[in-house]
Amino acid sequence: MWLIRWIVFIFFFLLILLFALQNQSQEVAVRLLNWQSPTLPLYLVVYLAFAAGIVFWLLFSANVILRLKGRMRRLQKEEGKIREELNRLRNANIEEELEPAETAEAE
């Protein structure tokens, strides 16, 4: 399995390297609102956009994971309380609970 992962990694690395080598001569200037970047090679702009997307995804995912972990902790606490109540009810003596009801009917 590790061999397949390395082969896939090397394949993607070579594709990225091939893309960078073929686009060395093409340069672009990125405009964002009133700001303009200096002219950069196309592959660098693509890689920077990809890296920014990864950072955005990482922050978004971390937010979702933290919310889910908090919800999981709350549900585990609730489950513990319910489990304690169930064990208490299982261990309750049925005869003790029925005696007051039987004496009330006899009177």
pLDDT in tens, 81-91: 999 988 888 88
pLDDT of 100: 46
Dihedral, CA atoms, 13, 19, 23, 28, nearest 10 degrees? -80
pLDDT at 97: 57
By the 8 A CB rule, do 36 and 30 touch?
yes
**Token digits of residue 67:** 């919310």
Q: What is the pLDDT of residue 78?
A: 95
Domain map of the chain by residue range?
17-91
Residue of higher predicted confidence among 67 and 48? 67
Give the residues across from 28 on adjacent strands.
Answer: 40
More confident residue, 93 or 102: 93
Note the pLDDT tens digit of each residue in 6-51: 888 888 888 888 887 887 788 888 888 888 888 888 888 888 888 8
Going by pLDDT thresholds of 50, 70 and 90, the confidence category of residue 70 is very high
CA gap 107, 98 in Å, rounded: 15
Distance, in Å, from the CA atom of 45 to the CA atom of 15, rounded to the nearest integer, reads 17
